[in-house]
Structure 1
Amino acid sequence: MSDSDVNPEDFDSTEPEERDVASEAATDHEKFLSMLPHYYRGEVAQANSLMDRLDLTVDWAIAVVTAVLALAFQGGDVTAYLLLIGIVAVSAFLLFDVRRYRIYDATRARVRLLEENVFANTFDPAGTPVDEWRKELGTDLRRPTLKVSYLEALSRRLRRVYFLLYLLLGGAWVFRITLFTPGEPWTETASVSGVPGETVAGVVAVFFVVVVAVTFWPTGRRAKGEFHGEEPGRWKRSE
């Protein structure tokens, strides 16, 4: 039967015979090595694409902060709650960023596995058990898992970018409700749509306490990589 006689509706990629289409390359050393560079380039390209998406999220967050600061201090009837809106907007960008970072970390971990067990051993063989890492990589390709917890990703992104944005907006808000309008009590300037200024200030203070705690709370590092003084570890598995 020719390929043209095969009905596409009869194809099921979940069938064992279809999933094992590349099993021949697993036992043929030459075919395996010829296929590996193509897979590696694809993973690197995907990691670069995900990194670009992370950078784009940060760029938008910075643009929003810049716009909010410009509007909040232009004078007139513009009130201080614009800065609080900016904090909410930055929080939304942070949540998007954390999700994208965790997916990026999973892709980067696969790239590092290939680099550690293939390319590094090409130059300096270390007796790595080939069957073990190939099995783990295959398992992760079939059932991808996130390699970094949500809390760690949130903390790392806060430390890298968003904590400084929060600090800038928080400091600007304090300045806006106090020194920027010396003729009005800060409780009146800080109020939002009938909500007393004391309540608004309390909510903002609690928010920043939580942000500081999440940012600097000491936790064990699970993200893959050796660029931050950490020793190379075992291939990470989901908890």
Structure 2
Amino acid sequence: MSEPSEDFDPESREEREVAAEAAGDRSDFLSLMGHAYRGELGRTSSWRTRIDRTTNWAVVVTASLLTWTFSSASRPHYVLLIGLVMLSVFLGIETRRYRTFDVWRSRVRLLEENVFTNALDPEGVEQSNWRALLSEDLREPTIKMPAVEAVSRRLRRVYAPLVSVLVAAWVVRLTVFTAAGNGVVATASVGPIPGALVLALVGGFYVVVIALTVRRAPRRAKGEMQAAEDTEEWE
């Protein structure tokens, strides 16, 4: 191991802020931005993989429960309700991961919009203070996307269809496989919980899911892909 230089003083400002020299050197600065971009892109890819893993589990669980429930007329209907609970748990985990993923994605988009697009087509930058914005975010990283928006987006992209399939399957299970002499309300009961209460809870849950799915609010996600017709609505 090499010995530290006698001229090196870790307490001096020049040594503590050695990277500040890159701010005044265009070549060094652009090289630094390239390394920063690759680092943030790696974090983005890592968190994207975590999100996909949760989504895969949600799809597998849904498919497994549907197959098992309809494999025999004696299967209890409330297994599908357990599936709704499990999907809610997956949605909560994925919402947290999605909000964290947005932190890294926002930095990647900031560099893409203000460095690489300007290099390819030098007609100006999207944010004139992008360096200050990036510096502030690196010094004090913060979650930028509200939890409600994250839930709404994950429902719209993945979980609303899965929930709808389970609810529809549950309704079919209650109506098609109803025992003779029992109504839908009586069949919907789960142990000591009356069927009317179960129906009300499932109905209320599904209404909340639909409300969050169709929710429209000012867009906070940075760099989120969207359909061309929605661009003007969110800007």
1:4/1:57 CA distance change after superposition, 3 Å: farther
Q: Could you tell me how far apart the structure 2 residues matched to 1:227 and 1:205 are?
A: 32
In the TM superposition, residue 214 of structure 1 has moved relative to its aligned partner by: 1.0
Q: Please, which of 105, 109, 120 is the counterpart of residue 108 of structure 1?
A: 105
| Displacement of 1:3 | 3.9
Distance apart, 1:18 and its partner CA: 7.7
**1:189 maps to which residue?**
187
Which amino acid is 1:157 matched to? R
Question: Does 1:212 pair with 2:210?
Answer: yes
Cα offset for 1:131? Answer: 7.2
How many residues are treated as equivalent by the alignment? 226
TM-score (norm 1): 0.85
Residue 140 of structure 2: which of 129, 139, 143 is its match? 143
Is the CA contact 1:79–1:189 (under 8 Å) kept in the aligned structure 2?
Answer: no
**Aligned-partner Cα distance in 2 for 1:188–1:226:** 46
1:40 equivalent among 28, 37, 41? 37
Q: Contact between 1:190 and 1:197, CA under 8 Å: does it hold in 2?
A: yes
Deviates more, 1:182-191 or 1:122-131: 122-131
Match of 1:78 among 75, 78, 89: 75
Partner of 2:219: 221
**Which region of structure 1 is more displaced relative to structure 2, 74-83 or 96-105?**
74-83
Q: Equivalent residue for 2:93? A: 96
Following the alignment from structure 1 to structure 2, what is the Cα–Cα distance between the partners of residues 75 and 4? 78
Deviates more, 1:128-137 or 1:76-85: 128-137
- Counterpart Cα distance in 1 of 2:197 and 2:97: 34
Q: Deviations over 1:13-42 (max 9, x none)?
A: xxx888634222222222212222111111
CA RMSD of aligned residues (A): 2.8
Secondary structure of 2:129's aligned partner: helix
Taking structure 1 as reference, are residues 17 and 155 closer, same or farther at Cα in structure 2, changes over 3 Å only? farther
The 1:44/1:203 distance shift into structure 2, 3 A limit, reads same
Q: Deviations over 1:45-89 (max 9, x none)?
A: 111111111111100001111111122222254211100000000
Gapped regions of structure 2 (runs ≥ 5) = none
Query: Which residue identity does 2:200 align to in structure 1?
Result: G
Q: Secondary structure at the match of 1:178?
A: helix
Cα gap change, 1:135 to 1:68, in 2 (>3 Å): same
Q: Identity over aligned residues, as a percent?
A: 47
